Amino acid sequence: MANINYKSILYKLIPRGFIYPQEGMGSDFEKLLCGISEESKRIDCDATDLLNEIMPDQTGRFLEDWERVLGLPLCGVQLGSREERRDMVLAMLNLGEFTNDEFFKTIAAIFGFDVEVVVPTPFRVGSSSVGDRLNGEAQRGTVIIKATCENPQLFRVGESGAGERLIDCSNEGLECIINTFKHSWQYVVFDYS
């Protein structure tokens, strides 16, 4: 767009005649056309930028709009740099609608969490062996998310009360994200180690 001479194009559009000055005479009319041509050049460049901005992998100015449309940041989990935020937008657009164990691992990784996903299988005579858990039909739809304990809250005598855990390892951001994407029939158990 920078190679186009907008002022020459405008001169070609005005009617021919001796009352209109020719290009290069330094008149007020030429100054007017020069100002109009600069604005035309700016609008043309902005339109080209807009075409690039509609693609989420190239967006810069509209990153906040992409995040707003996708509901980001989700559960208060934010990424710092614009590149990380753009990568999150792309990942959310390409996420799909699956909720298997690989899906939960992928969604946790997008938001910066390293998890292991376990889907309990029902105990079956002939295929299960001694020592396997006796998971039954009641556990169908259960997903176990194993993550590391980052900020353990220890039970303190005098500060903690009856019924509280001895060590509380919750990660509200991870739990919120997983619970946002799981189906209503799924039950997620978080196992922190």
pTM (whole model) above 0.85: no
- Beta carbons within 10 angstroms of residue 108's beta carbon: 20
Per the CB < 8 A criterion, the answer to whether 147 and 174 are in contact is: yes
Token output for 92: 């959310």
For the record, the structure tokens of 58 come out as 């190239």
CA distance linking residue 143 with residue 100, whole number of Å? 9
What's residue 3's pLDDT?
74
Mean of the pLDDT values across residues 118-142?
Answer: 71
| DSSP summary character for residue 83 | H
Ranges of each domain in the chain: 6-53, 57-94, 98-192
Residue 2, both tokens: 């920078």
pLDDT over 80 (residue 67):
yes
How much is the pLDDT for 139? Answer: 67
What was the pLDDT predicted at 136? Answer: 59
Residue 134 has pLDDT above 70, yes or no: no
Predicted pLDDT of residue 125: 75
Query: Cβ contacts of residue 81 below 8 Å, gap of 6+?
Result: none
> Which whole number is the average pLDDT over 111-129?
79
Confidence of residue 25 (pLDDT cuts 50, 70, 90): low
Residue 129 has pLDDT above 80, yes or no: no
pLDDT over threshold 60, residue 126:
yes
Instruction: Take residue 137 and report the two structure tokens written for it.
Output: 């039909």
